Chain A
């Protein structure tokens, strides 16, 4: 019996299968949108509850949201700098919250229990489309930030210490979104796969530490993504002397 057929007999793992929705003549991955709508809906409900009655003396949910706000402000201020961090804080915060909620939602909610005709529900960030979309938004943002803050002088950045840097800096514009998207995609997909394979092989105690590790990785990936996005924007608006 070959390895493949052995697996086929037991496994109910589905990798690279999608629930396709056909809209006109475009096809999209339905499961990604389904989970993202559920998770973002939960996030928005959570935020509306916390900001419903804002008081000067914060209590409960408002306290948590203020802590989150402060965390995001510190993150964007340290990376982008005092001058323009205000303009980019909502974007950095949205990236952080979106990635964090997607990662944790994918890891914590037993999506497997919901059966789909094809593919399965999971973290929206485990789909390459989502991560590339986020990474491209980051690329657009830092170009926009640089151009709107410094005008054409933004391109001095490409020859900054010496013109020798030009090809590397141009290459960086391609490697930045590539590394951003593949880092997030790879980490979250790998985590989901490891957990599913372990659950499939040893359904009892063994997957639990790996699940905790997955939660840790998920949080760290959200932080890394937001920090790098802020760093790229900060790099673009930084004044060279």
Chain B
């Protein structure tokens, strides 16, 4: 049976009656019901999780900043330690250089002194030898002179 009565006295597509306010009341009641059954509990859980995630993220970011600071600190410490070590090495090199120089100088001085000493000794021996030689030459010449005189 097709009953296509749009504006019939009984029924019809646009039959507006007490269904309207009752349905409105039902929807309002449903709003309160869904609010307490669905929107509030789910919202609490979701927002709690969102807060948890964002606070953790913030904490992690803070920690990352701290780590970066520590890393920079350590790097600067390493740098200063390196320069200090370099300084110490340089100083030690200089020290050892100085010691070497001193030792060399001392040895040179010693050598020079002993050289001088032997030179003086040689000189004195030479002069004494010379003197002896000249004495002998004098003697010989005297002898020769005497012989010449005798032979005359």
Q: Interface residues, chain A, CB within 8 Å of chain B?
A: 4, 7-8, 11-18, 23, 26-29, 32-33, 36, 40, 44, 47-48, 51, 54-56, 58, 62, 65-66, 69-70, 72-73, 89-91, 93-95, 97-98, 119, 124, 127-130, 132-134, 136-137, 189
Given contacts A26-B18, A69-B42, A130-B19, contact A137 B27 (CB under 8 A): yes
Cβ of B13 and Cβ of A16 under 8 Å apart?
yes
Whether, in the assembled complex, B149 has its beta carbon less than 8 Å from a beta carbon of chain A, the answer is no
Whether, in the assembled complex, B20 has its beta carbon less than 8 Å from a beta carbon of chain A, the answer is yes
Q: Which 8 A-B pairs have the closest CB atoms?
A: A129-B19, A133-B24, A90-B35, A26-B18, A133-B23, A129-B20, A94-B31, A11-B2
Whether, in the assembled complex, B46 has its beta carbon less than 8 Å from a beta carbon of chain A, the answer is yes
Q: Which of B1-37 contact A (CB under 8 A)?
A: 1-6, 8, 11-24, 26-28, 30-31, 33-35, 37
Cβ of B17 and Cβ of A27 under 8 Å apart?
yes
Chain A interface helix/strand/loop/mixed: helix
- Determine the distance from Cα of A1 to Cα of B93 in the docked complex, in whole angstroms: 126
Q: Which residues of A contact B148 (CB under 8 A)?
A: none
Q: Which residues of A contact B3 (CB under 8 A)?
A: 14-17
- Determine the distance from Cα of A241 to Cα of B81 in the docked complex, in whole angstroms: 64
- Determine the distance from Cα of A149 to Cα of B12 in the docked complex, in whole angstroms: 41
Residue of B nearest to A185 (CB): B13
Other than A65-B42, A70-B46, give 11 A-B pairs with Cβ distance below 8 A. Answer: A14-B1, A14-B3, A15-B3, A28-B22, A33-B22, A40-B30, A62-B45, A65-B38, A90-B39, A130-B23, A136-B20
